[in-house]
């Protein structure tokens, strides 16, 4: 019945008609199993479009349903491309540990090229000397442990501004919109450490428009764009994805260009004060030739793009989902607040130095990352070489997707996987699990060579801001709202479809919000 419905859908029919015109010419290019070797199991799909129409509007759940039928390692023909999908911890370990070097590249797809200055950023660049240089510079000057310690003051200041704004909303009887508060604060943190500038003076229309732009961008990039899987049809932009992403890219590029111009105008002030931010250090590195590689102005723009996109919305998504689950489960909220009251008290704000003494808060963060990973499907990996996995043949020129969402809900890895239960990380087998790529049951940042470069920063942001919000306020839904909407919006990141609105009441002494 499902296939019959798809075959009568006007969109699918139009796409199929266009694809059939190319089917015979491209058929010989389509990967097939080598003689005597079997491809991993997977659905047959439709002519040329392959499994694309079978995945549905939420690919993380569609691929999970297919994995229940075909297994944790699936091979899907999608357009003229082949893709292998890993949906279990053991399958992810095989690809991202044993075969990590083979799958360290990114596929060249129209939707990412349009927004990343031709893949001149760190996230979408192919594995090689230039990528290694960008990764090294980002780790040393921005995302590593030492750099994070250097910028702790900025995080504290922005958290304080957010608390004051929320306290004012509480006094006025206004609900707060949690993701708007978080994105404004995180964007200002990223702005200060990259270009020495707070991007938004206050939370308001400008910062909310920025958030909407980020959400639209990540949603668009996460869509399964037909042009990415059938390159011959890319120019038609059948879903309008590429046109939308180009418009957003132009907006984002305008913001980055403006920030860089203002940054250049204040270079003298920073030099006199002996201050350097991330862009200053990137520009200084342009004079160094490392393995024949140098950082260009386009690379600098690409790296700033990475920091603003990956450094704001993804962290805020985890904090928002954690807040939703805690409001939904008052006993979890009460236990977290009791722990903070005991360790921190009511006379001051929570500090980052308190977090190691707050194991239940850490467990809540891990549980939010397990059940609601901000990135449900990994960014696609790509291998030029053929390989063998669990006795199956995987051709060269194959994409790899890790279904992080499915792994976090795998009943063979987690007891009661659909239940939000932070206690699982306090004792038993899960107590030793961390989300930094060492345990494949929990890989919200990915794993292997292409693990998110900002994993440490992401952990700091999530733990510090979630702890700050929970410690500083009591939380309840606005009058008339009795039930939380748990719907998701699929994309490269996965925010709540309906942003969390809540009424807050201060629970610390007034001086703590000053």
Q: What is the pLDDT of residues 362-418, one digit of tens each?
A: 999 999 999 999 899 999 999 999 999 989 999 999 999 999 999 999 999 999 999
Report whether 15 belongs to an annotated binding site.
Answer: no
Q: Of the ranges 13-22, 120-129, 182-191, 370-379, which one carries the lowest mean pLDDT score?
A: 13-22
Alpha helices for 151-277 (secondary structure H)? 152-172, 178-195, 205-222, 226-229, 241-265, 267-273
Report the distance separating Cα 361 and Cα 342, nearest Å.
Answer: 13
Report the distance separating Cα 373 and Cα 351, nearest Å.
Answer: 25
CB 51 within 8 Å of CB 45: yes
Non-local (6+) Cβ contacts of 309 within 8 A are 214, 217, 218
> Is the model's pLDDT at 359 over the cut of 90?
yes
pLDDT digits (tens, 9 = 90+) for 27-72: 434 445 555 589 999 998 888 788 888 888 889 999 999 999 999 9
CB 471 within 8 Å of CB 357: no
Sign of the Cα torsion 402, 322, 499, 457 reads negative
Q: Are strands 81-86 and 473-476 parallel, antiparallel or unpaired?
A: unpaired
The larger pLDDT score, comparing residue 5 to residue 215, is at 215
Dig out the tokens for 256 from the structure: 């980055």
> Is the model's pLDDT at 292 over the cut of 80?
no
Specify the pLDDT at position 28: 35
Please give the angle made by the CA atoms of 337, 341 and 347, to the nearest 5 degrees: 125
Burial category of 389 from C-beta neighbours within 10 Å (exposed 0-12, middle 13-18, buried 19 and up): middle
Q: What is the mean pLDDT of the chain?
A: 88
Specify the pLDDT at position 34: 54
**Burial readout 464-486 (b: 16 or more C-beta within 10 A, e: otherwise):** bbbbbbbbbbebebeeeeeebee
**Burial readout 111-144 (b: 16 or more C-beta within 10 A, e: otherwise):** bbbbbbbebbbbbbbebeebbbbbbebbbebbbb
> Is the model's pLDDT at 425 over the cut of 90?
yes
Please give the angle made by the CA atoms of 282, 283 and 284, to the nearest 5 degrees: 90
pLDDT digits (tens, 9 = 90+) for 453-465: 999 999 999 999 9
Specify the pLDDT at position 11: 44
> Is the model's pLDDT at 96 over the cut of 50?
yes
The whole model's pTM is what?
0.90
* Rg (alpha carbons) of the chain, rounded to whole number: 23
Specify the pLDDT at position 170: 95
> Is the model's pLDDT at 83 over the cut of 90?
yes
The larger pLDDT score, comparing residue 412 to residue 222, is at 412
Angle between helices 241-265 and 297-310 (to 10 degrees): 110
Confidence of residue 294 (pLDDT cuts 50, 70, 90): confident
Specify the pLDDT at position 338: 98
Specify the pLDDT at position 288: 60
Closest CA to 308 of 456, 444, 197, 465: 197
Confidence of residue 289 (pLDDT cuts 50, 70, 90): low
- The gap from C-alpha 55 to its chain's centroid, in whole angstroms, comes to 20
Specify the pLDDT at position 507: 97
Q: Are strands 398-402 and 81-86 parallel, antiparallel or unpaired?
A: parallel
Closest CA to 512 of 399, 401, 350: 350
Specify the pLDDT at position 147: 93
- Got the DSSP string for 117-150? TTT-STTTSPSSHHHHHHHHHHIIIIISHHHHHH
How long, in residues, is the chain? Answer: 514
Closest CA to 113 of 234, 294, 286, 22: 234
Q: What is the mean pLDDT of residues 420-437?
A: 95
Dig out the tokens for 411 from the structure: 């009943």
Mind listing the domains of the chain with CATH numbers?
A: 2-513 (1.10.630.10)
Confidence of residue 287 (pLDDT cuts 50, 70, 90): low
Q: Which helix (H) or strand (E) holds 83?
A: strand 81-86
Dig out the tokens for 8 from the structure: 């009568």
């Amino acid at each position: 019945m499902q296939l019959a419905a798809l075959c009568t859908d006007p969109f699918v029919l139009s796409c199929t008609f266009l694809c059939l015109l190319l089917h015979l010419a491209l058929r010989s290019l389509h990967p097939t199993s080598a003689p005597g070797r079997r491809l991993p199991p997977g659905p047959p799909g439709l002519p040329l479009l392959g499994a694309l129409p079978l995945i549905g509007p939420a690919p993380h759940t569609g691929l999970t349903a297919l994995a229940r039928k075909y297994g944790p390692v699936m091979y899907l023909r999608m357009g003229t491309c082949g893709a292998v999908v890993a949906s279990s911890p053991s399958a992810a370990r095989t690809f991202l540990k044993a075969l990590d070097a083979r799958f360290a590249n990114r596929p060249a797809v129209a939707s990412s090229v349009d927004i990343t200055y031709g893949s001149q950023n760190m996230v979408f660049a192919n594995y090689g000397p230039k990528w290694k240089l960008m990764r090294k510079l980002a780790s040393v000057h921005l995302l590593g442990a030492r750099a994070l310690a250097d910028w702790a003051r900025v995080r504290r200041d922005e958290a304080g501004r957010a608390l004051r704004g929320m306290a004012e909303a509480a006094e006025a009887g206004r609900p707060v919109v949690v993701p708007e508060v978080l994105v404004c604060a995180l964007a200002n943190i990223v702005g200060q450490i990259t270009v020495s500038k707070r991007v938004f003076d206050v939370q308001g229309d400008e910062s909310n428009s920025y958030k909407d732009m980020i959400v639209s961008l990540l949603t668009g990039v996460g869509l399964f764009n037909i042009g990415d899987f059938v390159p011959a049809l890319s120019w038609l932009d059948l879903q309008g994805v590429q046109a939308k992403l180009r418009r957003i890219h132009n907006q984002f590029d305008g913001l980055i260009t403006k920030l860089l111009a203002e940054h250049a105008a204040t270079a003298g002030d920073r030099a006199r004060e002996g201050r350097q931010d991330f862009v200053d250090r990137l520009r200084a590195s342009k004079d160094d030739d490392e393995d024949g590689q140098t950082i260009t102005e386009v690379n600098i723009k690409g790296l700033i793009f990475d920091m603003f996109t990956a450094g704001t919305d993804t962290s805020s998504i985890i904090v928002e989902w954690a807040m939703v689950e805690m409001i939904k489960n008052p006993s979890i909220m009460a236990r977290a607040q009791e722990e903070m009251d005991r360790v921190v008290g009511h006379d001051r704000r929570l500090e980052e130095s308190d977090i190691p003494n707050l194991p239940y808060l850490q467990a809540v963060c891990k549980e939010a990352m397990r059940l609601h990973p901000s990135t449900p499907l990994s960014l696609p990996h790509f291998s030029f070489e053929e390989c063998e996995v669990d006795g199956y043949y995987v051709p060269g020129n194959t994409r790899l997707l890790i279904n992080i969402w499915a792994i976090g809900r795998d009943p063979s890895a987690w007891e009661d996987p659909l239940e939000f239960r932070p206690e699982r990380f306090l004792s038993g087998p899960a107590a030793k699990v961390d989300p930094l790529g060492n345990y494949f049951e929990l890989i919200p940042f990915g794993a292997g060579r292409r693990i998110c470069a900002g994993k440490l920063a992401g952990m700091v942001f999530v733990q510090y801001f979630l702890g700050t919000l929970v410690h500083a306020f009591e939380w309840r839904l606005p009058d008339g709202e009795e039930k939380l909407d748990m719907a998701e919006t699929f994309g490269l990141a996965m925010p709540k479809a309906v942003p969390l609105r809540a009424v807050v009441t201060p629970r610390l002494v007034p001086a703590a919000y000053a």
